[in-house]
Structure 1
């Protein structure tokens, strides 16, 4: 990697929003380290090939503490420290909590919550010493409402959103900025992996992950606190979320997270 270029670390980057975040960083002059659990991360690195900047893939399971430590060592092995970090790795699971598998729900917490805190602790230590750095947390519009049918996922994104806002305030008087990216339903593999393709939410039109990523990185580089990306529908959800009671939002989400044929005749 070129020592003169800034370095970005992107998790959950084998496809979807994470892949497009890495592309955005490359196009803006960064070298990138990209990470994901699946072997597709190597194909992603090949697809992201850039003539001026290097892409280094790391296949690692961030649901484990060892995986987070392994990623941090790999990202910093050449003595370079990330100038920007996109905490994008995440997973969801649809269905009623009482019917779901406990291991599936705990895996959401391990990846979405625990690994985010762990990696943030590692990279922020370095950034604090230099008094510079940029953090981008992929939250979700799910963070703004209780999520019947996706109870643990919504709770995990509420954690990420609160965490990002708190860190931003703690770091207000430093050279480190924190931005939260809140996508709505996006055309990624999320709904298939979550078992939600047959739900009303799963059948809705989806936002373009490339546009979500563009707005996210642009907001990060401009030092914004958060951005609801990418469509007008997602931005409208932000406005609705500010005025509707949680009970109303929860009921609406329960309907949208149910199978599309439920209640029909």
Structure 2
């Protein structure tokens, strides 16, 4: 028998590591029923056991590869079939590919667009109406400081995060007369498996220092609970995101290319 602090339910994508795993810990600590999804079933089962033991909360695991075109719809269908109503949606799943656009893998970039844009949009589309009907709910979409400028050597990734930020801010405004909110979390370089998958460990961006994933999640959690539309964790990240508004675009492109390039 689980003793719940509250009866709210959160769905977290990309929950097996990094920022997503940190979010799972924060929500479990506050007594939420966790619905966790990622590709790795064994890892999710391990995390579910840890969270249940540590916090005494129920955890539902649904393994999905969100790079598959039908995966997001399958996920929501399984959630509905289990009779679960999602109160909070954390669209955290995402990844990047590194290199000049004419040399990068189109399959990787198609999968990236599917995960970073299509799956995120699908889950929001599927779960938002229920939140509006109940007049309560929160959505957090993980964008990036990459959303504020174009990104040579990671052109598609930067473009996907610009979409996430624009999409999130627009919907949050549409919902201004409801008790449903959308928050865009825009972290800079963060120490997760992200940089390894994108082969970015040796880039100037990550060599200059990365934030702790727990600190990023904590900033996002606080902003989400305060119904903030946008949060940029870390002083350096805030400064960089704001300064690009005052620089010529050509200068921004040169700077971004420099910091993305590998030493």
Q: TM-score range by the shorter chain?
A: over 0.9
Question: Does structure 1 retain, via aligned residues, the 8 Å contact 2:97–2:109?
Answer: yes
1:228 has 2:240 as partner: no
> Equivalent of 1:85, from 71, 89, 92?
89
Question: Does structure 2 retain, via aligned residues, the 8 Å contact 1:76–1:82?
Answer: no
> Equivalent of 2:181, from 169, 172, 177?
177
User: Which residue does the alignment assign to 2:262?
Assistant: 259
Equivalent-residue separation in structure 2 for 1:243 and 1:168 (angstroms): 26
Which shifted more, 49-58 or 158-167? 49-58
Which shifted more, 190-199 or 155-164? 190-199
**Number of matched pairs:** 259
User: Which residue does the alignment assign to 1:7?
Assistant: 9
Q: CA deviation at 1:178?
A: 0.7
> Equivalent of 2:158, from 124, 129, 154?
154
The residue matched to 1:183 in structure 2 has which SS? Answer: coil
> Equivalent of 1:48, from 40, 45, 51?
51
- 1:77-118 CA-partner distances (Å, limit 9, x unpaired): 332311100000001011000111111111110110011111
User: Which residue does the alignment assign to 1:34?
Assistant: 36
User: Which residue does the alignment assign to 1:66?
Assistant: 70
Question: Over the residues paired in the alignment, what is the CA RMSD in angstroms?
Answer: 1.6
- 1:207-253 CA-partner distances (Å, limit 9, x unpaired): 01111101101110111111101x22112222223322332222111
Q: How does 1:67-216 map to 2 (within 5 A)?
A: 67-216=71-220
The residue matched to 1:93 in structure 2 has which SS? Answer: coil
Q: CA deviation at 1:120?
A: 0.7
Which shifted more, 91-100 or 2-11? 2-11
Q: CA deviation at 1:44?
A: 2.6
- 1:135-176 CA-partner distances (Å, limit 9, x unpaired): 001010000110000000000000000000110111111121
- 1:3-54 CA-partner distances (Å, limit 9, x unpaired): 8510000001100001001111111221111111124222332333343312
User: Which residue does the alignment assign to 1:263?
Assistant: none
Question: Does structure 1 retain, via aligned residues, the 8 Å contact 2:146–2:161?
Answer: yes
Q: CA deviation at 1:198?
A: 2.0
Equivalent-residue separation in structure 2 for 1:186 and 1:252 (angstroms): 19
Which shifted more, 58-67 or 164-173? 58-67
Normalising by structure 2, report the TM-score: 0.93
Equivalent-residue separation in structure 2 for 1:51 and 1:219 (angstroms): 23
Change (3 A) 1:137 1:2: farther
The residue matched to 2:202 in structure 1 has which SS? Answer: coil
Equivalent-residue separation in structure 2 for 1:190 and 1:51 (angstroms): 27
Which shifted more, 140-149 or 124-133? 124-133
Which shifted more, 245-254 or 105-114? 245-254
Question: Does structure 2 retain, via aligned residues, the 8 Å contact 1:138–1:181?
Answer: yes
The residue matched to 1:59 in structure 2 has which SS? Answer: coil
Equivalent-residue separation in structure 1 for 2:69 and 2:134 (angstroms): 25
Normalising by structure 1, report the TM-score: 0.92
